[in-house]
Amino acid sequence: MASYSRRLIALSRVPIEKNPKIDERIVFIFDTSSLEQLEPIEIPASSTIVIIDHHVEKENPIPADIAVIDPMRTSTAEIVWELFKKFKYRDEDSAKVLLAGIISDTSNFRYANAKTFKTVYEILNLYDFSIPEISQLVAPVSDENTEQAKRMAILKACQRMEIHKVGKFVVVTSKVSAYEALACKVFLQLGADVAIVGSDKGGVRISARAKDYLVKRGLHLGKIMEKVGPIIEGSGGGHAGAAGANGKKNLGEAMKFLVKEIEKFLKSLS
Protein backbone atom coordinates (compact mmCIF):
# COMPACT_ATOMS: atom_id res chain seq x y z
CA MET A 1 0.00 0.00 0.00
CA ALA A 2 1.33 3.45 -0.92
CA SER A 3 2.34 5.77 1.91
CA TYR A 4 -0.28 8.35 0.96
CA SER A 5 -2.99 5.66 1.01
CA ARG A 6 -2.13 4.93 4.63
CA ARG A 7 -2.43 8.63 5.44
CA LEU A 8 -5.89 8.84 3.90
CA ILE A 9 -7.07 5.63 5.57
CA ALA A 10 -6.08 7.16 8.92
CA LEU A 11 -8.85 9.73 8.37
CA SER A 12 -11.51 7.02 8.09
CA ARG A 13 -13.80 6.35 11.03
CA VAL A 14 -14.81 3.07 9.39
CA PRO A 15 -12.50 0.04 9.79
CA ILE A 16 -10.65 -0.81 6.57
CA GLU A 17 -10.21 -4.49 5.72
CA LYS A 18 -7.88 -6.03 3.16
CA ASN A 19 -9.57 -8.54 0.84
CA PRO A 20 -12.73 -8.76 2.97
CA LYS A 21 -15.40 -11.42 2.59
CA ILE A 22 -18.38 -9.66 1.02
CA ASP A 23 -21.86 -10.55 2.30
CA GLU A 24 -23.52 -7.12 2.08
CA ARG A 25 -26.77 -6.71 0.19
CA ILE A 26 -25.52 -3.55 -1.61
CA VAL A 27 -21.93 -3.18 -2.85
CA PHE A 28 -20.50 0.15 -4.07
CA ILE A 29 -17.55 -0.03 -6.48
CA PHE A 30 -15.60 3.17 -7.18
CA ASP A 31 -13.23 3.97 -10.05
CA THR A 32 -12.82 0.32 -11.04
CA SER A 33 -13.23 -0.82 -14.62
CA SER A 34 -13.48 -4.60 -14.21
CA LEU A 35 -14.10 -7.30 -11.62
CA GLU A 36 -10.59 -8.64 -12.30
CA GLN A 37 -9.20 -5.56 -10.56
CA LEU A 38 -10.99 -6.63 -7.38
CA GLU A 39 -9.47 -10.12 -7.23
CA PRO A 40 -9.31 -12.05 -4.92
CA ILE A 41 -12.48 -10.38 -3.59
CA GLU A 42 -15.66 -12.12 -4.70
CA ILE A 43 -19.01 -10.34 -4.88
CA PRO A 44 -22.09 -12.53 -4.27
CA ALA A 45 -24.44 -12.84 -7.22
CA SER A 46 -27.30 -11.76 -4.93
CA SER A 47 -25.68 -8.39 -4.14
CA THR A 48 -26.90 -5.19 -5.76
CA ILE A 49 -23.89 -3.57 -7.46
CA VAL A 50 -23.58 0.22 -7.68
CA ILE A 51 -20.81 1.58 -9.92
CA ILE A 52 -19.49 5.14 -9.52
CA ASP A 53 -16.81 6.04 -12.06
CA HIS A 54 -15.56 8.68 -14.47
CA HIS A 55 -14.46 6.15 -17.08
CA VAL A 56 -16.78 4.38 -19.51
CA GLU A 57 -15.60 0.77 -19.74
CA LYS A 58 -16.51 -0.61 -23.17
CA GLU A 59 -14.61 -3.88 -23.45
CA ASN A 60 -15.44 -5.69 -20.20
CA PRO A 61 -17.78 -3.60 -18.03
CA ILE A 62 -18.81 -4.65 -14.55
CA PRO A 63 -22.46 -5.82 -14.61
CA ALA A 64 -24.00 -3.07 -12.49
CA ASP A 65 -27.55 -2.71 -11.21
CA ILE A 66 -27.00 1.04 -10.84
CA ALA A 67 -24.27 2.98 -12.66
CA VAL A 68 -23.34 6.59 -11.96
CA ILE A 69 -20.80 7.40 -14.68
CA ASP A 70 -19.71 10.81 -15.93
CA PRO A 71 -16.81 10.72 -18.44
CA MET A 72 -16.70 14.53 -18.42
CA ARG A 73 -15.32 14.41 -14.88
CA THR A 74 -11.57 14.12 -14.37
CA SER A 75 -11.93 12.11 -11.15
CA THR A 76 -14.47 9.87 -9.45
CA ALA A 77 -14.13 12.05 -6.34
CA GLU A 78 -15.92 14.87 -8.19
CA ILE A 79 -18.92 12.61 -8.81
CA VAL A 80 -19.02 11.60 -5.15
CA TRP A 81 -18.99 15.30 -4.22
CA GLU A 82 -22.04 15.86 -6.43
CA LEU A 83 -23.79 13.01 -4.61
CA PHE A 84 -22.84 14.58 -1.27
CA LYS A 85 -24.54 17.80 -2.38
CA LYS A 86 -27.62 16.00 -3.66
CA PHE A 87 -28.13 14.16 -0.37
CA LYS A 88 -27.05 17.20 1.72
CA TYR A 89 -24.25 15.23 3.38
CA ARG A 90 -21.44 17.24 4.97
CA ASP A 91 -18.33 15.87 6.65
CA GLU A 92 -14.97 17.60 6.81
CA ASP A 93 -12.77 14.49 6.73
CA SER A 94 -14.72 13.08 3.78
CA ALA A 95 -14.36 16.37 1.91
CA LYS A 96 -10.63 16.37 2.66
CA VAL A 97 -10.25 12.86 1.21
CA LEU A 98 -12.28 13.80 -1.88
CA LEU A 99 -10.08 16.82 -2.52
CA ALA A 100 -7.01 14.62 -2.10
CA GLY A 101 -8.54 12.22 -4.62
CA ILE A 102 -9.07 15.03 -7.12
CA ILE A 103 -5.47 16.21 -6.76
CA SER A 104 -4.14 12.67 -7.16
CA ASP A 105 -6.37 11.59 -10.06
CA THR A 106 -5.68 14.76 -12.05
CA SER A 107 -1.91 14.55 -11.41
CA ASN A 108 -1.87 17.81 -9.45
CA PHE A 109 -4.50 19.36 -11.78
CA ARG A 110 -2.56 18.56 -14.96
CA TYR A 111 -5.67 16.87 -16.40
CA ALA A 112 -8.20 19.16 -14.71
CA ASN A 113 -10.97 21.00 -16.51
CA ALA A 114 -13.43 23.76 -15.60
CA LYS A 115 -15.69 21.33 -13.72
CA THR A 116 -12.72 20.14 -11.68
CA PHE A 117 -11.90 23.64 -10.47
CA LYS A 118 -15.56 24.37 -9.76
CA THR A 119 -15.66 21.34 -7.44
CA VAL A 120 -12.41 22.37 -5.76
CA TYR A 121 -13.79 25.88 -5.23
CA GLU A 122 -16.96 24.50 -3.64
CA ILE A 123 -15.00 22.30 -1.23
CA LEU A 124 -12.54 25.04 -0.22
CA ASN A 125 -15.41 27.49 0.18
CA LEU A 126 -17.08 25.21 2.74
CA TYR A 127 -14.10 23.93 4.71
CA ASP A 128 -11.08 25.56 6.28
CA PHE A 129 -8.19 23.79 4.60
CA SER A 130 -5.80 24.65 1.79
CA ILE A 131 -4.46 23.03 -1.36
CA PRO A 132 -0.88 22.75 0.03
CA GLU A 133 -2.25 21.02 3.14
CA ILE A 134 -4.20 18.47 1.10
CA SER A 135 -1.35 18.02 -1.39
CA GLN A 136 0.81 16.81 1.48
CA LEU A 137 -1.67 13.99 2.10
CA VAL A 138 -1.01 12.53 -1.35
CA ALA A 139 2.69 13.39 -1.62
CA PRO A 140 4.85 10.25 -1.77
CA VAL A 141 7.23 9.65 1.10
CA SER A 142 10.74 8.89 -0.13
CA ASP A 143 13.60 7.26 1.70
CA GLU A 144 17.07 6.22 0.58
CA ASN A 145 16.00 2.69 -0.42
CA THR A 146 12.98 3.95 -2.38
CA GLU A 147 15.05 6.52 -4.24
CA GLN A 148 17.65 3.91 -5.14
CA ALA A 149 14.94 1.55 -6.40
CA LYS A 150 13.52 4.33 -8.57
CA ARG A 151 16.94 5.16 -10.03
CA MET A 152 17.59 1.51 -10.83
CA ALA A 153 14.17 1.17 -12.47
CA ILE A 154 14.81 4.22 -14.65
CA LEU A 155 18.28 3.02 -15.67
CA LYS A 156 16.95 -0.44 -16.55
CA ALA A 157 14.10 1.14 -18.50
CA CYS A 158 16.63 3.15 -20.52
CA GLN A 159 18.78 0.05 -21.03
CA ARG A 160 15.81 -1.90 -22.44
CA MET A 161 14.36 1.00 -24.40
CA GLU A 162 13.13 0.47 -27.95
CA ILE A 163 12.62 3.47 -30.23
CA HIS A 164 9.92 3.55 -32.90
CA LYS A 165 10.14 6.45 -35.36
CA VAL A 166 6.88 7.45 -37.04
CA GLY A 167 7.61 10.35 -39.37
CA LYS A 168 8.74 13.20 -37.13
CA PHE A 169 7.36 11.50 -33.99
CA VAL A 170 9.15 9.19 -31.56
CA VAL A 171 7.41 6.40 -29.64
CA VAL A 172 9.46 4.72 -26.91
CA THR A 173 8.71 1.35 -25.27
CA SER A 174 10.42 -0.48 -22.44
CA LYS A 175 9.97 -3.09 -19.72
CA VAL A 176 10.71 -2.81 -15.99
CA SER A 177 9.79 -4.55 -12.74
CA ALA A 178 8.30 -1.46 -11.10
CA TYR A 179 7.76 2.30 -11.48
CA GLU A 180 6.31 2.05 -15.00
CA ALA A 181 4.61 5.46 -14.81
CA LEU A 182 7.81 7.13 -13.60
CA ALA A 183 9.76 5.59 -16.48
CA CYS A 184 7.17 6.95 -18.93
CA LYS A 185 7.52 10.42 -17.44
CA VAL A 186 11.31 10.30 -17.79
CA PHE A 187 11.08 9.16 -21.42
CA LEU A 188 8.89 12.16 -22.25
CA GLN A 189 11.42 14.44 -20.55
CA LEU A 190 14.17 12.85 -22.67
CA GLY A 191 12.32 13.70 -25.88
CA ALA A 192 9.81 10.93 -26.63
CA ASP A 193 6.39 11.99 -27.93
CA VAL A 194 4.73 8.86 -26.54
CA ALA A 195 6.08 6.42 -23.94
CA ILE A 196 4.79 2.94 -23.12
CA VAL A 197 6.33 0.92 -20.28
CA GLY A 198 5.20 -2.52 -19.15
CA SER A 199 5.89 -5.02 -16.40
CA ASP A 200 5.01 -8.69 -16.04
CA LYS A 201 6.20 -9.10 -12.47
CA GLY A 202 3.28 -10.40 -10.41
CA GLY A 203 0.84 -9.90 -13.29
CA VAL A 204 0.83 -7.50 -16.20
CA ARG A 205 0.95 -3.73 -15.71
CA ILE A 206 1.28 -1.15 -18.47
CA SER A 207 1.59 2.63 -18.28
CA ALA A 208 1.51 5.05 -21.19
CA ARG A 209 2.07 8.80 -21.44
CA ALA A 210 1.87 11.27 -24.32
CA LYS A 211 2.87 14.88 -24.90
CA ASP A 212 0.08 17.44 -24.57
CA TYR A 213 0.31 18.57 -28.21
CA LEU A 214 -0.68 15.06 -29.36
CA VAL A 215 -3.61 15.02 -26.96
CA LYS A 216 -4.78 18.33 -28.41
CA ARG A 217 -4.65 16.76 -31.87
CA GLY A 218 -6.90 13.89 -30.83
CA LEU A 219 -4.77 11.17 -29.25
CA HIS A 220 -6.58 9.45 -26.36
CA LEU A 221 -4.43 6.84 -24.63
CA GLY A 222 -7.26 5.90 -22.26
CA LYS A 223 -9.50 4.77 -25.12
CA ILE A 224 -6.67 2.79 -26.70
CA MET A 225 -5.82 1.21 -23.34
CA GLU A 226 -9.42 0.04 -22.94
CA LYS A 227 -8.86 -2.24 -25.94
CA VAL A 228 -5.81 -3.73 -24.21
CA GLY A 229 -7.91 -5.11 -21.33
CA PRO A 230 -9.10 -8.28 -23.11
CA ILE A 231 -5.61 -8.96 -24.48
CA ILE A 232 -4.09 -9.12 -21.00
CA GLU A 233 -7.21 -10.66 -19.40
CA GLY A 234 -7.73 -7.57 -17.31
CA SER A 235 -8.75 -3.98 -17.85
CA GLY A 236 -7.38 -0.68 -19.06
CA GLY A 237 -8.30 2.97 -19.33
CA GLY A 238 -7.33 6.42 -18.19
CA HIS A 239 -6.96 9.97 -19.41
CA ALA A 240 -6.13 11.15 -22.92
CA GLY A 241 -2.50 11.80 -22.05
CA ALA A 242 -1.96 9.25 -19.28
CA ALA A 243 -3.38 5.75 -19.14
CA GLY A 244 -2.73 2.29 -17.77
CA ALA A 245 -3.81 -1.33 -17.79
CA ASN A 246 -3.64 -4.28 -15.40
CA GLY A 247 -4.05 -7.94 -16.25
CA LYS A 248 -2.70 -11.46 -16.03
CA LYS A 249 -0.63 -12.22 -19.14
CA ASN A 250 0.35 -11.39 -22.76
CA LEU A 251 2.45 -8.29 -22.05
CA GLY A 252 4.35 -8.61 -25.33
CA GLU A 253 1.19 -8.88 -27.42
CA ALA A 254 -0.34 -5.91 -25.62
CA MET A 255 2.74 -3.74 -26.15
CA LYS A 256 2.76 -4.55 -29.88
CA PHE A 257 -0.94 -3.69 -30.11
CA LEU A 258 -0.39 -0.33 -28.37
CA VAL A 259 2.50 0.60 -30.65
CA LYS A 260 0.46 -0.35 -33.72
CA GLU A 261 -2.55 1.74 -32.60
CA ILE A 262 -0.42 4.76 -31.74
CA GLU A 263 1.55 4.50 -34.98
CA LYS A 264 -1.75 4.42 -36.87
CA PHE A 265 -2.82 7.66 -35.17
CA LEU A 266 0.53 9.38 -35.75
CA LYS A 267 0.55 8.44 -39.44
CA SER A 268 -2.89 10.02 -39.79
CA LEU A 269 -1.38 13.36 -38.73
CA SER A 270 1.15 13.49 -41.57
How many structural domains are present in the chain? 2
pLDDT score of 192: 96
Q: The CATH number of the domain where 213 resides is what?
A: 3.10.310.40
pLDDT (0 to 100) of residue 238:
85
Amino acid code (one letter) for 232? I
Q: How many residues does the chain have?
A: 270
- Decide which of 87, 103, 137 is a domain's last residue: 137
Q: Which of 93, 111, 137 is the last residue of a domain?
A: 137
pLDDT score, position 140: 65
pLDDT by position in tens, the chain (length 270) = 566 677 778 878 888 888 888 889 999 999 987 777 787 888 888 999 999 999 876 666 788 999 999 989 999 999 999 999 999 999 999 999 999 999 988 888 988 999 999 999 999 999 999 999 898 888 765 555 667 888 898 999 999 999 999 999 999 999 999 899 999 999 999 999 999 999 999 899 999 999 999 999 999 999 999 999 999 998 888 889 999 999 999 999 999 999 999 999 999 987
* Domain at 125, CATH number: 3.90.1640.10
DSSP secondary structure letter of residue 168: T
For residue 248, what are the domain limits?
A: 146-269
79 and 193, same domain (yes or no): no
Q: Are residues 246 and 179 in the same domain?
A: yes
Is the omega angle on the peptide bond into residue 61 within 30 degrees of 0, that is, cis?
Answer: no
For 97-134, give one letter per residue: b (16+ CB within 10 A) or e.
bbbbbbbbbbeeeebbeeebeebbebbeeeeeeeeeeb
118 shares a domain with 88: yes
Whether 174 and 221 have beta carbons less than 8 Å apart is answered as no
Q: Choose the final residue of a domain: 137, 165, 200.
A: 137
Which CA distances in Å does 159 have to 102, 113, 152, 173?
35, 37, 10, 11
| Whether residues 181 and 151 fall in one domain | yes
Same domain, yes or no: 17 and 108: yes
Q: Spell out the SS3 assignment of 139-167.
A: CCCCCHHHHHHHHHHHHHHHHCCEEEEEC
